[in-house]
Amino acid sequence: MTHQQGTGATVVTDIDIPFIRLVLIFFKVYLAMIPALILVGLVFAAIASISGGIFGFGAMMMGPTG
């Protein structure tokens, strides 16, 4: 690492992480992503349901009435 005096900036020139440890980091990120994706899916489903109820998008799928 190099620290430049007076600017407060730090430049990272190299990160030494073993491959197996990097795989474990990505695996943990993947596992943490699953609940987040489920939550985002539920939020989008709620928004679609509410907007479908307000604007009547579901009526188009039911076909002619009468």
pLDDT of residue 1: 57
d(CA 54, CA 46): 12
Q: What are φ and ψ of residue 20, in 5° steps?
A: -60, -40
The full length of the chain comes to: 66
pLDDT of residue 59: 62
pLDDT of residue 55: 77
**pTM, rounded to two decimals:** 0.52
Residue-range domain boundaries for the chain: 19-53
pLDDT of residue 8: 77
d(CA 16, CA 19): 9
Residue ranges for the chain with pLDDT beneath 50: none
pLDDT of residue 2: 60
What's the Rg (C-alpha) of the chain? 25
pLDDT of residue 5: 63
